[in-house]
Structure 1
Amino acid sequence: MPTLTRRIRRTAATAVAVAVAAGSALTLTGTAPAHAHTGPRAATSSTVTSAQLTAGLYQSAYSERNRVLWATSAVGRPPVTRSSLLKVDPGTLQVQAAYTPPVTDAATGAVEAVYGIAVDDEHNTVWTTNTRNDTVAVYSQRDGRHLATLPGVAHAREIVVDERRNLAWASSFGDGTVVAFDTRTYKEKKRVTVAGTQPAGLALNERTGTVYAADLGGDRIVEVSPYAKEPRLIPTGDGPISVALSADGRTAYTADQAAGALSVVDLRKGAVTRTVPTGAGALSVAADRRSGNVLVANRAAGHVTVVDPRKGAVVETLATGANPNHVTIVRGTAFVMDKSAVGPERQDQAHRIRVGR
């Protein structure tokens, strides 16, 4: 890991910033304990704080360098004319700035709408997937300026950044491909296609540089290792759409949308070791390295479940707004974007969850 990033991460390691920002309107919808507790560790007592942000929320990513939560939003079907990249205070859930993607069609007002997101703290940028445009884009974290649009990613869904190796990996759902771009030059570096797959969610092993893609249509994980000549296919649950890794990189977790469950996958053995029902429409998964627990956003069920993967049990169920869409975790604090449209202007909500132990 480069020296600058190491130094920044050490200073940010104790807490998520709670600086108050002026400007954008904020509607807090309250702080509440989880609405249900189940299983052997029912005393975890997580709390959920919620705020209305904007319509069309999709995903979020946390910048340790800037202590900022970045989020994407896009409203409606093409031509999409409302989309923004949001800079959010992680402590107050207040929008500090909103940046509009570039216009792609002057006649309709369509913009290069943003959906998936990842941050590159080494180069102080934000990477987004522009699903409707079959591209990915790069923005400055400093001022939100659009830096580049990179074509050739069919129905681009998710993106992860490997800061050690200066790579950004995107899932090309439309043609069974994962694509790597150089985060310094923005040039394409690698393209791996597995016929018949539908790569959706992505996870990165930062130590090895191996990328894992959830194959939604094939009930598999696609493993792309820099040390292997061919990708490896690992079976998982029914309809995997999101994937996360354990802290040691030996275990993968998939949110299985069709099954409404979490699969725990031993990557060395290439086999599912546990299947844990979490709720209808499991859509996004993230691992808490502090506790070892895993959070799953269950869109159709309208809640987030905390799973102890070692025991194969749900230990807590967390109330969010309807249609939770994405979850990311920063040292015991989870951020969930929903698509509840509960605000007076149909705003969706962000939720900050202090995950109990």
Structure 2
Amino acid sequence: MALAACGTVALSGTAVAAKSGEPAVTTAPLVRGLYQSAYSERNDALWVTVAVGRPPVTSSSLLKVDPDTLAVEQTITPPVTDGTTGAKEAVYGVAVDDEHNTVWVTNTRDNTVAVYSQKDGAHLATLPDVAHAREIVVDEKHDTVWASAFGSATLVAYDSKTFEEKRRVTVEGSSPTGLAVDERTGTVYAADLNGDRLIELGRKSDTRRFITVGDGPISVSLSKNGKVAYTAEQTSGTVSVVDLRTGQVTRTVTTGAGALSVGTDTRSGDIVVVNRTAADVTVVDPRTGTVEATVATGANPNHVEIADGTAYVVDSPARARGGEDLLTRIRLAG
């Protein structure tokens, strides 16, 4: 569908010169099977998960990428779970805990989550019983890590220091996918894919609030002050702007087919939405509903991570091209 944008920035093999007010774009091929990324401010590193194929997954890794050069600095291989087939703890979702210098990942096929050291890449723990573990998010202020167990309608919390399970909250009939946490309050938000709603869960209470959003919410992000939530809706190709004080959707913006991931640029207040089917990302001013730019990516963009005014987008899988998946860096316009 057509988008009212300031301009579309095409990709090349390296950097793309942007017109005034448009994002500058750089791309780099990494490896096949990119899924998600998370930025570490402590180490100035981008951690990227890689998994290829269906079970038994024998090709999986956790990459440490230099955000300036987009070069792979370290490749960490997950533990083998089956010596006969060579299957590994295939990594998909990822989040960084800079306070404790760790990386947390979801091993979706194995129904577990795992913890790695940012210092040396050591595998520190595998934590069981997270059915179809999809996404993971870190609340450094409250020493808590949350994982979404899509397969059991459950949100699971861990102590980020000891790796011990702290809470397990099941929301019957839900299908939790994307997560976001307000570190001021410890409140966690989960996109309920099949329920077309946002689930809100307080840090100390099992009381839930449900906020109806668009069709097929799969990812959620918060504004810098934690008062507004943004949900990317895969089925409708939209993003909803949610006033968390009133629990109402104040604006719905069409972004593109297969909206799959959303991130907030805390510097400008803009949001970036990955549109998987459309093979692009949309930069939106959520206060006005204005689409400010549309940026083409590789086929099947999968996830966006935003840090210091820069968006990092991974695409997957490479089957559409027969080669490596791409990491796209977008310097967002100020």
TM-score scaled to structure 2, two decimals? 0.94
Q: CA deviation at 1:44?
A: 2.4
**Separation of aligned partners in 2, 1:184 and 1:287:** 27
CA contact (8 A) 2:142 2:183 kept: no
**Separation of aligned partners in 2, 1:56 and 1:225:** 35
Q: Is 2:87 the counterpart of 1:110?
A: yes
**Separation of aligned partners in 2, 1:46 and 1:325:** 19
Aligned counterparts, 1:115-134, within 5 A: 115-134=92-111
Q: What is residue 66 of structure 1 aligned with on the other side?
A: 43
Q: What is residue 264 of structure 1 aligned with on the other side?
A: 241
- Per-residue CA distance 1:108-159 (angstroms, 9 max, x = gap): 0000000000011111110000000000000010111111000011000000
CA contact (8 A) 1:340 1:349 kept: no
- Per-residue CA distance 1:288-346 (angstroms, 9 max, x = gap): 01111000000000000000101112111012111110001001111000125289862
CA contact (8 A) 2:34 2:317 kept: no
Q: Is 2:274 the counterpart of 1:297?
A: yes
Secondary structure of the residue aligned to 2:328 is strand
**Separation of aligned partners in 2, 1:94 and 1:227:** 42
**Separation of aligned partners in 1, 2:321 and 2:278:** 23
Q: What is residue 286 of structure 2 aligned with on the other side?
A: 309
Secondary structure of the residue aligned to 2:151 is helix
AA matched with 1:283: L
Aligned residue pairs total 323
Aligned counterparts, 1:1-357, within 5 A: 29-32=13-16, 44-339=21-316, 341=318, 346-357=323-334
Moved over 4 A (4+): 342-345
**Separation of aligned partners in 1, 2:161 and 2:317:** 37
CA contact (8 A) 2:94 2:105 kept: yes
Q: CA deviation at 1:227?
A: 4.5
AA matched with 2:135: E
Secondary structure of the residue aligned to 2:195 is coil
Secondary structure of the residue aligned to 2:13 is strand
AA matched with 2:104: W
**Separation of aligned partners in 1, 2:181 and 2:85:** 38
Tell me, which stretches of 5 or more residues in structure 1 are unaligned?
1-27, 35-41
Q: CA deviation at 1:228?
A: 3.7
Tell me, which stretches of 5 or more residues in structure 2 are unaligned?
1-11
Secondary structure of the residue aligned to 1:263 is strand
**Separation of aligned partners in 2, 1:279 and 1:73:** 25
- Per-residue CA distance 1:196-243 (angstroms, 9 max, x = gap): 000000001011111000000101111111254411111111100000
AA matched with 1:158: E
